[in-house]
Amino acid sequence: MSRTSTETVHPAGVRAADSAHLWHPYTTVPAAETPYVVTGARGVHLDLWSDGRRHRVVDGMASWWSSIHGYRHPRLDAAVHAQVDRFSHVMFGGLTHAPPPRWPRRSYGSPPRASTTSSSPTPVRCRWRSP
């Protein structure tokens, strides 16, 4: 029987399998410390399991967008679910889908008449199409 992401696995089992089979970036081989098991997150908090107990901590090393918006932001969660119901991901190079053409106008408003492109902090450019 295979496990799916919806099945509940005890944190001790997660930790044991992790220690036996995985290497985490920025750690030694073998790992000097066993990683904490994250069992949940909301806002700025992580729910961790360690030493047989659960701990709620502030995520001081939050990854990219979670440090700005927090974990389990209702609007972001709804957008992710809506996208996954259609398809999870496609490469942006040479492909597009409904949301990307809306990004520049939503982020920057209508472009000045002379502008033909809008750029983002990432190395991706979206071309404006004049009506």
**19: phi then psi, degrees, rounded to nearest 5:** -60, -35
DSSP assignment of 7-64: S---HHHHHHHHHHH---TT--SS-SSPPPEEEEEEBTEEEEEETTEEEEEE-TT--T
Q: Which of 21-30, 32-41, 65-74, 105-114 has the highest mean pLDDT?
A: 32-41
Task: Compute the average pLDDT of residues 59-83.
Answer: 83
List, for residues 85-94, the tens digit of each pLDDT value: 998 888 888 8
Helix (H) or strand (E) holding 117: strand 117-119
**128: phi then psi, degrees, rounded to nearest 5:** -80, 140
- The domain locations on the chain are 1-71, 90-131
Residue 1: is its pLDDT beyond 90? no
Residue 119: is its pLDDT beyond 60? no
What does the mean pLDDT of the chain come to?
Answer: 79
Return the CATH fold of 1-71. Answer: Aspartate Aminotransferase, domain 1 (3.90.1150)
Task: Compute the average pLDDT of residues 17-44.
Answer: 88
